[in-house]
Chains A and B, each alone.
Chain A
């Protein structure tokens, strides 16, 4: 092949032979033509879309503006309410100083009132204590009288016993009978006290009235030799001063030592022990130890 320069090469390339076009190519291509008209028709069918798109910014702005106006309206309303409330509070704050003073006065009065109430309570308590003291004084006087009478009776009984033994055999028999009755009374008292203790956690009764349910009658609480006391037949008429006997173990626990003296007759000197037995004229062997009256054993 003959060598070519650039110009010759370009010339030959530009003269490249035409290509045979197949038959019906143009018809095939034309059959495929789909022009934008169809798009236009579709847009016309749905022409609200571009309209909406065109108006969307304006609608958005309008909605935003409306929202802002509503927000401003609401805020203004809230602001007005707050102003009114503020005015009310200012008016109220002017009376605040007076209210404070009144409150201070009220607090002071309340404190005084509390103090007064306390004083009233103290006074009532004092009155009660005074009444108790007066009652105790009366009881103390009564006790002193009883002791004196007791001594006198003992002396009288001793004198009478000494005289009667020598002069009056009938009197002696009567006194013997009285002594037996007295022992019987102490027995009944001891039995009643143990029954009461049995129902009350083995604690002995404090006085005769406490154990009234366990005794048949208040008559047994008067020694037959006691001429100075009247026998009462009803518990409603009974007082501790109307009994000849003494309870020496009130409120003690029933139990050993069994020689603890529970009751005694100051006239005959009989003693009722905690075990329910009665020792005739045994008071002379009684001793006191640790707050208890004990009957010492006789050798």
Chain B
């Protein structure tokens, strides 16, 4: 996929609209999911996704291939999100209902209802993490980026990513061990 994305990127840079459409097909869902989980509204996520792709087209010539296309587009998405959050200056935490509402239709990855409830509580606990740890969890676990890719997106060291993940896991473990969810 990485090679495919880079080929498409080169073609799009040469002005190939079909290649650009294919890039949209490949990444629009992932980028929308990223924003949707972070900001909590369809409309905001949609706007941010469109903004991200507009920036992708305008910055396409500056893509040198030093990182993968996936890392590069996630980096742009992260910056777009940071700008949006700075302007909005409000953080909303998703609830269980939110997860129900936003989840796509289809078979659930969880076998039983108890497992599904525990998972929803865990996702809600993730939203209670501080912003740095939350970003790391979103990019590494939800978006499926590697540690190195996550570090490149956030422009931090890989060791920092590991540290933040360790902290996040500790927090989530304590949350799952407690009978009631702690609120911040």
A contact set with B: CB distance below 8 Å: 1-6, 9-10, 12-22, 25-26, 28-30, 32-37, 39-40
Contact = CB atoms under 8 A, between A and B. Distances in A.
A19 B122 contact: no
B119 interface: yes
Given A1-B176, A9-B176, A29-B28, A16 B50 contact: no
A29 B24 contact: yes
B42 interface: yes
B173 A35 contact: no
26 contacts: A1-B117, A1-B118, A2-B114, A3-B173, A3-B176, A5-B173, A9-B176, A12-B122, A13-B126, A15-B110, A16-B37, A17-B103, A17-B104, A19-B33, A20-B105, A21-B104, A22-B42, A25-B32, A29-B28, A33-B21, A35-B12, A35-B15, A35-B20, A36-B61, A37-B14, A40-B15
B147 to A, nearest CB: 13
A1 B121 contact: yes
Nearest to A18: B104
Nearest first, the 7 closest Cβ-Cβ pairs linking A and B are: A37-B15, A13-B141, A17-B103, A19-B33, A15-B109, A18-B104, A3-B177
Contacts of A36: 13, 15, 57, 60-61
Contacts of A28: 46, 50
Contacts of B123: 13, 16
A9 B24 contact: no
A2 to B, nearest CB: 6
Contacts of A2: 114, 118, 176
Interface of B: 12-17, 20-21, 24-25, 28-29, 32-33, 36-37, 42, 46, 49-50, 53-54, 57-58, 60-61, 99, 102-106, 108-110, 114, 117-119, 121-123, 126, 137, 141-142, 144, 169, 172-173, 176-177, 179
Q: Does more than half of chain B's interface fall in helix, strand or loop, or is it mixed?
A: helix
Given A30-B21, A32-B50, A32-B57, A12 B28 contact: no
Nearest to B99: A17
A49 B121 CA distance: 61
Nearest to A13: B141
Nearest to A41: B15
A4 B105 contact: no
Contact of A35 (B17, B102, B121, B122): B17
Contacts of A16: 37, 123, 141-142
Contact of A18 (B14, B50, B103): B103
A18 B137 CA distance: 15
Nearest to B137: A13
Nearest to B176: A4
Given A13-B142, A19-B102, A35 B60 contact: yes
B19 to A, nearest CB: 9
A29 B50 contact: yes
